[in-house]
Amino acid sequence: MTGATMNSKAMIVGFALVATGGLISLCGIGITGTVMVSAIRRWVSAQQEPPSAVVKRKLAQAKAATSAATTAGSSAWQNGLATSRTR
């Protein structure tokens, strides 16, 4: 191979630095993840109502509102109460 030569020592040092940086990053991600999970667990346990109950209640409210709006809209359309422009 002519013209292109690589310094193998520099390549090894560069690879070692990248690998070390990756290992340090993984440690940081692990520590941060552990702290965040712990904080979320404390927050959930401090709530008066479990999050699953809140979600169920809000979903039931949304379904009731959707049903009421659909019923009101369809009955208004069928009874001719909806306004329309005529010229």
Structural domain boundaries of the chain? 8-46, 50-87
pLDDT at 1 over 90: no
- The band of 83, judged by pLDDT with boundaries at 50, 70 and 90, is low
Residue 73 has a pLDDT of 72
Whether residue 82 contacts residue 76, with contact meaning beta carbons closer than 8 Å, is answered with yes
pLDDT value of position 15:
96
> Which pLDDT does position 23 carry in this prediction?
97
Q: How far, CA to CA in Å, does 51 sit from each of 14, 40, 45, 80? A: 48, 12, 10, 43
pLDDT in tens, 16-57: 999 999 999 999 999 999 999 999 999 988 988 888 899 999
